[in-house]
């Protein structure tokens, strides 16, 4: 508790981008990202939600969607519990021209300072029955999460079933402030861990 004289919260600044998404099955998609975080976290700067451009997949076998969509946010917190997570929803248009969900993915913002490249898989919920799948195809009502933020929670996912689709590549550059003052030791690299300095 020696460091108590310092600040009363620590800051987490993440800037990075959603580089690309590999969704070979679908053409024309765009992304929406959101943050999910715990009670003790407060977004200081940066967008709460971001919507990307519409992308068409590359012509080769990779089926790559390049987004280069910047994600820049600053959080303030007193507690690592509820570390912010980035929830990305990939939306596209189906054959009827309606907007449908193509995939979801979620990942924590990096916990250590420095540069990190992440590859996160994408998944989309599946219809509960064949009938409803057909109906969904007809009415272009593909199953989707009522609130994508549920992906940031552990509870309530057991009722859903999903299919994995592709990958998303993100990179983050993280900087932190005051974590040490609050007794959290966030080190880059392998010996990363949190130790309480009592």
| Binding of another protein by 195 (CB under 8 A) | yes
- Is 78 or 112 the residue whose CB approaches another protein more closely? 78
Whole-angstrom Cα distance, residue 190 to residue 124? 32
Whole-angstrom Cα distance, residue 71 to residue 50? 8
Out of 53, 139, 175, 185, which residue is the one contacting another protein (CB under 8 A)? Answer: 139
Q: How many CB atoms lie within 10 A of CB 120?
A: 16
Whole-angstrom Cα distance, residue 34 to residue 104? 11
Query: Of 29, 76, 11, 31, whose CA–CA distance to 170 is shortest?
Result: 31
CA 5 to chain centre: 35
| Binding of another protein by 169 (CB under 8 A) | no
- Is 1 or 95 the residue whose CB approaches another protein more closely? 1
Out of 21, 109, 182, 186, which residue is the one contacting another protein (CB under 8 A)? Answer: 182
Residue at token pair 């057991």: 158
Out of 108, 115, 157, 163, which residue is the one contacting another protein (CB under 8 A)? Answer: 157
| Binding of another protein by 150 (CB under 8 A) | yes
Whole-angstrom Cα distance, residue 20 to residue 67? 5
Contact pattern for another protein over residues 75 through 114, marking x by CB under 8 A: --xxx-x---------------------------------
- Is 31 or 182 the residue whose CB approaches another protein more closely? 182
Whole-angstrom Cα distance, residue 108 to residue 192? 15
Collapsing DSSP to helix, strand or coil, 38 comes out as coil
| Binding of another protein by 191 (CB under 8 A) | no
Residues that bind another protein in the complex, under the rule CB under 8 A: 1, 4, 8-10, 39-42, 60-62, 77-79, 81, 125, 127-129, 131-132, 134-136, 138-139, 141-146, 150, 155-157, 159-160, 182, 195-196, 198
């Amino acid at each position: 508790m020696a460091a108590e004289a310092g600040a009363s919260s620590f800051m987490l600044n993440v800037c990075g981008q959603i580089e690309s998404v590999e969704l070979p099955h679908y053409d024309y998609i765009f992304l929406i990202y959101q943050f999910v975080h715990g009670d003790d976290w407060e977004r200081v700067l940066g967008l709460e939600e971001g919507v990307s451009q519409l992308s068409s997949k590359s012509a080769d076998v990779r089926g790559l969607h390049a987004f280069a969509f910047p994600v820049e946010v600053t959080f303030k917190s007193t507690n690592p519990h509820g570390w912010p997570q980035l929830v990305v929803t990939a939306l596209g248009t189906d054959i009827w021209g309606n907007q449908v969900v193509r995939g979801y993915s979620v990942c924590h913002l990096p916990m250590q300072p420095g540069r990190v490249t992440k590859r996160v898989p994408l998944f989309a919920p599946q219809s509960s029955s064949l009938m409803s799948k057909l109906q969904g195809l007809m009415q272009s009502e593909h199953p989707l999460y009522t609130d994508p933020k549920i992906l940031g929670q552990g509870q309530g996912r057991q009722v859903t079933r999903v299919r994995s689709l592709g990958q998303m590549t993100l990179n983050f550059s993280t900087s932190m402030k005051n974590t040490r003052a609050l007794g959290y030791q966030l080190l880059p690299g392998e010996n990363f861990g949190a130790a309480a300095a009592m």
